[in-house]
Structure 1
């Protein structure tokens, strides 16, 4: 298919749109809302927040859908968390947490602004072209009603776009032969991904798992002795992103060049404001 967009325009748009979706997983508002349900530990809270759209699923389903979590960690919390709170209750609490998070990070003025309403309209229009087949997290979220408030509609749309790209990204990872830990190790080597400390703490893997993945990637000629990407490794990462771009092109082609440019501009402004308000830990991204 011939693209009518500038190179990587969809990728750039997704990156800033996804930033707004991701604020939820670092939000104290999520902890408060889920704590009220009886989910007081951060790990099951965040697992439930993302997987509740799939229903009262167990560790196997989430390991498949999330890709880079250790099944052993998931089995400690799933399906047990659904005995504390139903998926429906979790989804309601998630939306309340989103409301509080966006108001806290962006301010009430931005939440009720014409720009927020415009961003929601553009992101929802892009999501009209998302496809359901082989995309479980996107498809499950697409079954949810669109919230009426523009800032909640915008977050809902960012979720659809994030999970649509993410589901396709997993197919690309499989096709290139990167397992869950190898995928993150190679991404971290670019300097643009979650740091090893955050990955190991949140995904349930051990330092020995990380080092074993480093060894496998070195054996394939993708990392050098210092753990940096080789030329082959950089080419593989770019092939991965290009394949993901192709699998995720439909929503941005549907929106069109002007719409993508405008959504990127609006989403970037919101993302910069949120980051400046402390949405993310300062050591989240990096190689250390």
Structure 2
């Protein structure tokens, strides 16, 4: 199972990352009126959760400094509906994938099969404890094969990230029970090996 998961990561992660590193999605979000990259990022990625407060988005993402989400949510949704941001993110990301693949591959039977298989996997995983993934499951699956491939790959990425966040929280709780105090947080974050934390008597 671990081998399969790693293989899927290697195949699907590059498809998802166009959203963050290629130009098209950012340009689509900017065209909507999002002032900064982070306005568009939070507005579009968190939109499947609904119009929730910043505290909910912060808890779901679990990887940003306190107060960072509140700089963008809910203000980014006040003039631009979440649904519009989701659509811009998807449209721009699919355009990036199509550009990178080229029209011939993007329109091939092989890509359609890849999109179908990825969609089958992405719509079959359990939603328990996977907040971001469950939110994406509520969105309609695109009919265009390239968009469907990106959408389904991104659903699987959110499923994996939800799992990593849960694992990270468990790690921090275990470290706190074992060591206590700030050094437990360092161990839970993985910044300092547990054996080092355990051996270090100095205050954090």
Normalising by structure 1, report the TM-score: 0.59
Are the equivalent residues in 2 in contact too, given 1:63–1:69 (CA < 8 A)? Answer: yes
How far apart in 2 are the matches of 1:172 and 1:219?
A: 16
- Segments ≥4 residues shifted beyond 6 Å: none
RMSD: 2.4
1:83 — aligned with what? 78
Unaligned runs of 5+ in 2: 174-184, 198-204
Q: Which runs of 5+ in 1 are unaligned?
A: 179-211, 224-288
Query: C-alpha displacement at 1:48, in angstroms?
Result: 1.6
Higher relative contact order (CA 8 A, sep 6+): 1
The answer for the alignment partner of 2:103 in structure 1 is 108
Whole-angstrom CA distance in 1 between matches of 2:196 and 2:120: 39
Question: Is the 1:31–1:45 contact (alpha carbons within 8 Å) kept by the matching residues of 2?
Answer: yes
Q: For residues 216 and 54 of structure 1, do their structure 2 counterparts lie closer, same or farther at Cα, with a shift above 3 Å needed?
A: closer
**Aligned 1:17-28 pairs, distance under 5 A:** 17-28=12-23
In 1: Cα distance, 2:62 partner to 2:10 partner = 19
Please list the CA deviations of residues 210-263 of structure 1 after superposition, one character each: whole Å capped at 9, or x if unmatched.
xx959984373358xxxxxxxxxxxxxxxxxxxxxxxxxxxxxxxxxxxxxxxx
Displacement, 1:71? 2.5
d(CA) in 2 for partners of 1:135, 1:216: 22
User: What corresponds to 1:167 in structure 2?
Assistant: 162
Q: TM-score, normalised by structure 2?
A: 0.82
Task: Quote the Cα distance in structure 1 between the aligned partners of 2:118 and 2:144.
Answer: 14
**Deviations 1:72-112 (Å, cap 9, x if unpaired)?**
21111111100131111111111221232112222112211
